[in-house]
Amino acid sequence: MTQVSITDLVTGVRSGCLASFPTDTVPALAVLPEKADLIFAAKQRSQNKPLILMAATEDDLWHFVKGSADELLIWQQVAKAYWPGALTLVLPASDRVPRIMNPADPTTIGIRVPNCAIAQSILSRTGPLATTSANLSGQMPLQTTAEIEAQFPDVLTLLPTELAAVNSGIGVPSTVAKWNDGIWQILRQGAVNLF
């Protein structure tokens, strides 16, 4: 059992530990971006499945992507329309993104701001984190702290008292939209309809 307070979870994440916390979709596994290999190992995840960079605000994310001024304007308009929310934007990655976030294609990065107060509170103190759903690769996302602790006994989770006021996520992963030569390509249809 590794149930901790929000403060201790933030401290643990900052020191390089894996953690899990609620989001507006499904519970996340999260770690510092430069420690993303811990998620791949814990989930037994293929290196060709990239992780998402999640942050408390959109302003925390823009320096992790690169594009023309016009492109940035388009991306920011979409972000303002759907964030915080269940939309992941896959954009060209800047050199600030650790390669381990997306080993198979380090030229792109998925970014998202969750519509979840507890996730935003954690992310505002840790900075952007490498995230993915809490489950073994190929299995359904886990929904409860008990399930997450059973599958990932070393991962930091929040005490029940910290979760009392949390509305559970919708249980549906985020929609993933990739910017591809000037148009959006839907890689995964999830909770948000972009078009």
DSSP code for 183: E
Domains and CATH numbers, the chain: 3-188 (3.90.870.10)
Stronger pLDDT, 172 or 164, i.e. the higher one = 172
In this predicted structure, the answer to whether residue 1 has a pLDDT above a threshold of 60 is no
Give 162's pLDDT tier (boundaries 50, 70, 90): confident
Could you tell me if 97 and 74 are in contact, meaning their C-beta atoms sit under 8 angstroms apart? Answer: no
In this predicted structure, the answer to whether residue 166 has a pLDDT above a threshold of 70 is no
Give the model's pLDDT for residue 129.
98
Give 49's pLDDT tier (boundaries 50, 70, 90): very high
Report the half-sphere exposure of 179 (CA within 13 A, side-chain side). Answer: 25
DSSP code for 116: -
Give the model's pLDDT for residue 30.
98
Give 114's pLDDT tier (boundaries 50, 70, 90): very high
In this predicted structure, the answer to whether residue 165 has a pLDDT above a threshold of 80 is no
Could you tell me if 61 and 109 are in contact, meaning their C-beta atoms sit under 8 angstroms apart? Answer: no
Give the model's pLDDT for residue 12.
97
* Section 115-141 average pLDDT: 95
Percent of the chain that is helix, strand, coil (3-state, to 5): 30, 25, 45
Average pLDDT value for the chain: 93
What's the whole-model pTM score?
0.94
B/e letters for 169-182, b = 16+ CB within 10 Å, e = fewer, are beeebbbbbbbeee
d(CA 23, CA 83): 13
Strand-pairing partners, residue 37, are none
Give 102's pLDDT tier (boundaries 50, 70, 90): very high
Residues 6+ apart with CB under 8 A from 109: 50, 53, 64, 65, 90, 91, 92, 93, 97, 101, 102
* Section 10-17 average pLDDT: 97
